[in-house]
């Protein structure tokens, strides 16, 4: 197993937020944009290697002290060259530093996120995780990004009163998911995430998670919702209870299909989760009224103050991501 590192370097704010990328000079992913990075030398610390590789490929010199550690990437098959574990770090530059392609890069340049379509390897997932650090209301927030904004197509929710979350693996996103959002309250936060009950290989396929995030943003354009990108492409399962109570909200609510509602008592640390919830918005997926009322009684037996709100029927409630993947 080889060890590598990747540098996620951002500058600007809002629609002017830019990412430093290189165009790959060698296979795999020849001619595609990627994050600067490379292999870690024997005895070298990952952060030191990240700063070194960044300078060697782009000429951009940054301080180790400014690096924000991101999740280690170790999924089998993430690098076509073999078993490679990556230790990525994020940096924010207050100004756009001059970049010049060196070493293994054909080109090095700053690209507006509004114009970036795809990244090589699993670098799109790394970018999604890094952007989660811009959210002051979420536990991933980094103080170094105080006052900075994401582009307009992915606004950040700043309301710290009630957090309404609609999460799922959304693989793929379909009209049924959009109908759930349309039946949800305004300012719902859509949270694309890994399924904690599935293996790493089931959660992750070979797609670029940045590209798929853009597709979700396009599907939901013009709605009064926000999309939290920080968990999208996570290699490990991420149970709702592990992050919900750490958000900067006074109350918590969930949006879910009625099939998810019927299994809510089986979720990870379900009793603890149910006890901290203020409200659940249940969107029809074909479950019987009797089953839903029985489940409501069971859930309210755990939390008598939990409000269960049942949404309107819609024409896409039979759609299934699993069936779409298999078709």
Tell me the C-alpha distance between 54 and 40, whole Å. Answer: 12
Q: How far apart are CA 124 and CA 269, in angstroms?
A: 30
CB-CB contact of 21 with 119 (8 Å): yes
Q: How far is CA 277 from CA 22, 173, 186, 283, in A?
A: 44, 26, 18, 17
Structure tokens at 199: 């293996």
Dist CA 121 CA 129 (whole Å): 15
107 carries an active-site annotation: yes
CB neighbourhood size of 323 (10 A): 10
Give per-residue burial for 191-227: e unless 16+ CB within 10 Å, then b.
bbbbebeeeeeebbeebbbbebbbebeebbeeeebbb
What are the structure tokens assigned to 310, written together? 């049942």
- 114: its two tokens: 């509004």
CA separation for the pair 219, 308 (Å, rounded): 27
Helix-then-strand count for the chain, H and E: 10, 14
| Per annotation, catalytic residue among 57, 64, 69, 107 | 107
Among 236, 237, 211, 207, CA closest to 78: 207
Smallest CA-to-CA distance from 254 within 266, 264, 268, 242 is with 264
The catalytic residue positions are 107
């Amino acid at each position: 197993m080889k060890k590598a590192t990747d540098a996620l370097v951002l500058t600007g704010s809002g629609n002017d937020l830019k990412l430093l990328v290189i165009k790959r000079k060698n296979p795999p992913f020849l001619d595609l944009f990627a994050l600067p990075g490379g292999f870690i030398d024997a005895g070298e610390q990952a952060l030191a290697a990240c700063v070194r590789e960044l300078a060697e490929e782009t000429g951009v010199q940054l301080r180790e002290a400014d690096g924000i550690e991101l999740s280690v990437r170790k999924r089998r098959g993430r690098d076509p060259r073999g078993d490679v574990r990556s230790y990525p770090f994020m940096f924010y530059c207050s100004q756009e530093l001059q970049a010049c392609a060196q070493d293994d890069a054909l080109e090095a340049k700053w690209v507006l996120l509004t114009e970036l379509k795809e990244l090589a390897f699993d670098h799109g997932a790394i970018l999604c995780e890094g952007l989660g650090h811009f959210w002051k209301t979420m536990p991933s927030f980094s103080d170094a990004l105080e006052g900075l904004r994401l582009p307009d197509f992915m606004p950040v929710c700043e309301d710290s009163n009630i957090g309404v979350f609609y999460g799922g693996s959304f693989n793929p996103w379909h009209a049924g998911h959009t109908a759930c959002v349309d039946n949800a309250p305004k300012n719902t936060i859509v949270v694309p995430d890994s399924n904690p009950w599935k293996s790493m290989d089931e959660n992750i396929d070979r797609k670029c998670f940045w590209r798929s995030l853009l597709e979700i943003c396009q599907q939901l354009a013009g709605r009064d919702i926000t999309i939290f990108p920080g968990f999208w492409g996570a290699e490990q399962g991420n149970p709702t209870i592990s992050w919900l109570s750490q958000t900067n909200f006074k109350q918590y609510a969930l949006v879910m299909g009625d099939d998810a509602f019927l299994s809510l008592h089986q979720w990870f640390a379900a009793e603890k989760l149910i006890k901290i919830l203020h409200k659940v918005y249940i969107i029809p997926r074909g479950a019987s009224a009797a089953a839903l009322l029985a489940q409501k009684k069971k859930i309210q037996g755990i939390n008598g103050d939990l409000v269960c709100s049942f949404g309107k029927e819609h024409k896409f409630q039979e759609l299934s991501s699993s069936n779409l993947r298999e078709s």
